Amino acid sequence: MNATIYHNPRCSKSRAALALLTEAGADVTVVEYLKTPPTRDELAALFERADLTPREALRATETEAKPLKNAGDATILDAMARHPILIERPIVETAKGVVIARPPERIREVL
């Protein structure tokens, strides 16, 4: 099985998700999204496959999220594309779907 993880190696949840994918025998593509951020269109497609709104995938605790309190989806997507720290992590994509792996065990939904 192929899987892509949008990963932040400094995040314990992201590291745990990557370990679960590896243990499951997945062929994992690791995208360090802070170094290589997905485009706005890629984010929109991921969130659509995950059946999430951009607001649901927003790391609202980040400083850059404060001005987005009353923003619409388009504005949030634009902000995520400019400031990838705003993207909730980790995001895991397989042929079966996309999940935000918080908690990491949610990966089982797409394995």
Q: Give the CATH number, domain containing residue 18.
A: 3.40.30.10
Kindly name the residue from 11, 44, 52, 111 that is annotated as catalytic: 11
Burial (0-12, 13-18, 19+ Cβ within 10 Å), 23: exposed
Q: pLDDT tens digit string along 6-57?
A: 999 999 999 999 999 999 999 999 999 999 999 999 999 999 999 999 999 9
Clarify whether 11 is annotated catalytic. yes
Range of the domain at 61: 2-110
For the residues 82-98, what does the mean pLDDT come to? Answer: 97
What is the value of pTM for the model shown?
A: 0.93
How many separate domains does the chain show?
1
Exposure on the CB side of residue 4, measured as CA atoms within 13 A: 12
Q: pLDDT tens digit string along 59-68?
A: 999 999 999 9
